[in-house]
Amino acid sequence: MQPDEFRRHAHEMVDWIADYLEHADRYPVCSRSKPGDLLATLPASAPEDGEPMAAIWADFERDVMPGITHWNHPRFFAYFPANNSGPSILGEMLSAGLGVNGMLWQTSPAATELEQRMMSWLGQLVGLPDGFHGVIHDTASTATFCALVCARERATGFAANREGLGTATGGRALRVYASREAHSSVLKGARLAGFGAEHVVPVGIDAERRLDPADLERLIAADLAAGHLPCAVVATVGTTGCTAIDPLAAIGPIARRHGLWLHVDAALAGTAAILPEMRWILDGIGHADSLVFNPHKWMLVNFDCSAFYVRDPDHLQQAMAIHPEYLRTTRDAEVVNYMDWGVQLGRRFRALKLWFVLRNYGARELRAIIGSHLEAARAFAGWIDEAPGWERLAPVPLNTVCFRWLPAGVTGTDALNGRNLDLMARVNQDGVIYLTHTKLDDVVTLRLAVGQRATTLEHVRQAWEALQDTARAIA
Ligand SMILES: Cc1ncc(COP(=O)(O)O)c(C=O)c1O
């Protein structure tokens, strides 16, 4: 592709993206593709000769677009958000244009230093106390995995890295504690870090589904009595099911007393702490050894961008770093080489999009947007509370409302579960909104998570109308 062709296609594509963002609401939110739809259109092998962009673009619009679920649609209420924004897309584009690999300071000093400063800005914005050091990872899952590796290495004096887990613990099992509402990435991270799924200990929860510190204490005591090695506790600030907020201030002293690594998973919720009135969600964060939250979920930064903070970067580096000759530079003693702060060697220049977003919006506007999402979620919760035939199933400390439909004459958990799954399938199929479910205990629970850049109270009202209309149609 010659420079002038590139320029032309890029301009066209930016126009297309701008139109898309402006009119994302003309698409059904969730793709209606059936399994294999796109595969059936794609040739089995790559072309031998290059094809014109016009042909590729036509195929994109005809074949690929129908298979897109529109995460940045203003009526996307599923899972947790993964939102984006103009400045973020521009930062992403520039990062692709530069094609930088920020594995070492020397491989692009600006990539490392911008990342250092962005992590510091972000830490201040969410009110982290001094002493935390940040790095951008791809996802919260990776960050939690790294935290568990750090915990393992601290518990074994780095012997697990050296000798392998078999001998490092003298045959004793390292134990990880997390509430049974914790995200599946904790179990995955513990499995991959060699703890073994059986050694992830589910901690009891209270009526609001927050980790119960008394149960944690009890489980640690039982494990010590059984000859196990308590190693780490993962607290969740904003659980995926219903955004419960584990009490860090109570968990921290327990972790400290028993020498446990305290990792805080605030994947979604961390962003809310940019609002002074929401800072309480991180009360007690000073006890933590590590924290992760995702600007790519709720801070208008394109996927992927996950902020991982540790108290002791030397410890993280000792757990992660390997220095073959070909990666050594003359500056290593003076600079940060982020390849030593995680799993990856090669690293994308993610700080650029974060910088664009934080500067172009500014903290005030970001707070206003997050605040409007919180308000819209509270309004939806109020409508559910007031409407006969609907039930709210959890408190709403953040942007997510858990609820279910109670159709007249239908009783029993199984029957209600079936009706609610049916309602969700129907309303999603209509394309006006997209929402997903979880189970709280045995109860199928619909979740409405507000968090897209362009979502307003009016969109949330449309969601409520769509749910009521569909319920009426089914009834
Ligand atoms: C609480 C929590 N932790 C971790 C994750 C995983 O996030 P990621 O996709 O960045 O790995 C999620 C995803 O929604 C989450 O809700």
Residue range 374-397: mean pLDDT, rounded = 98
Long-range Cβ pairs for the range 358-363 (8 Å, 24+): 358/118, 358/121, 358/122, 358/125, 359/87, 360/86, 360/87, 361/85, 361/87, 361/300, 363/125, 363/274
Which of 148, 183, 302 has most ligand 1 atoms within 8 Å of CB, for mutation?
183
Q: For 340-358, give the DSSP string.
A: GGSS-SS---THHHHHHHH
Q: Report the separation in Å between the CA atom of 241 and the middle of ligand 1, taken as the mean of its atom positions.
A: 11
Q: What is the pLDDT of residue 85?
A: 97
Q: Report the separation in Å between the CA atom of 140 and the middle of ligand 1, taken as the mean of its atom positions.
A: 5
**β-sheet bridge partners, residue 288:** none
What is the DSSP secondary structure assignment for residue 99, as one 8-state letter? T
Residue range 188-198: mean pLDDT, rounded = 97
Residue range 173-188: mean pLDDT, rounded = 98
Enumerate the domain spans of the chain: 100-348
Residue range 261-274: mean pLDDT, rounded = 98
Q: For 2-33, give the DSSP string.
A: -HHHHHHHHHHHHHHHHHHHHTGGGS-SS--P
Cut 0.75: pTM above it: yes
Closest by CA position to 132, among listed 315, 305, 356: 315
Under the banding of pLDDT at 50, 70 and 90, the label for residue 187 is very high
pLDDT in tens, 108-143: 999 999 999 999 999 999 999 999 999 999 999 999
Q: Report the separation in Å between the CA atom of 9 and the middle of ligand 1, taken as the mean of its atom positions.
A: 35
Would you say residue 89 has pLDDT above 90? yes
Q: What is the 3-state secondary structure (H, E, C) of 192-254?
A: HCCCCHHHEEEECECCCCCECHHHHHHHHHHHHHCCCEEEEEEEEECCCCCCCECCHHHHHHH
Under the banding of pLDDT at 50, 70 and 90, the label for residue 166 is confident
Q: Which atom of ligand 1 is nearest to the CA of 79?
A: 14
Residue range 59-88: mean pLDDT, rounded = 97
Give Cβ neighbours of residue 102 (< 8 Å, ≥ 6 apart). Answer: 108, 111, 112, 115, 338, 347, 348, 349
Candidates 3.40.190.10, 3.40.640.10, 3.90.340.10, 3.10.580.10; correct CATH number of 100-348? 3.40.640.10
Q: Report the separation in Å between the CA atom of 141 and the middle of ligand 1, taken as the mean of its atom positions.
A: 6
Which of 79, 141, 438 has most ligand 1 atoms within 8 Å of CB, for mutation?
141
Q: Report the separation in Å between the CA atom of 308 and the middle of ligand 1, taken as the mean of its atom positions.
A: 13
Closest by CA position to 195, among listed 163, 236, 151, 238: 151
Determine the Cα–Cα distance for residues 18 and 2; give it in Å rounded to an integer. 24
Q: Report the separation in Å between the CA atom of 239 and the middle of ligand 1, taken as the mean of its atom positions.
A: 9
Q: Which atom of ligand 1 is nearest to the CA of 139?
A: 10
Which of 79, 83, 294, 308 has most ligand 1 atoms within 8 Å of CB, for mutation?
294
pLDDT in tens, 203-260: 999 999 999 999 999 999 999 999 999 999 999 999 999 999 999 999 999 999 999 9
Q: Which atom of ligand 1 is nearest to the CA of 80?
A: 14
Q: What is the pLDDT of residue 76?
A: 98
Which residues line ligand 1 at a C-beta cut-off of 6 Å? 80, 139-141, 183, 185, 236, 238, 240, 265, 267-268, 294, 306
Q: What is the pLDDT of residue 62?
A: 97
Q: What is the pLDDT of residue 42?
A: 97
Q: How far apart are the first and last CA of the chain?
A: 57
Residue range 264-271: mean pLDDT, rounded = 98
Contact between residue 115 and residue 295 where contact means Cβ atoms under 8 Å apart: no
Element (H, E) at 438: strand 436-440
Which of 71, 265, 398 has most ligand 1 atoms within 8 Å of CB, for mutation?
265
Q: Using CB atoms within 10 A of its CB, is residue 413 exposed (0-12), middle (13-18) or buried (19+)? A: exposed
pLDDT in tens, 339-368: 999 999 999 999 999 999 999 999 999 999
Which residue's alpha carbon is nearest to atom 7 within ligand 1?
Answer: 140
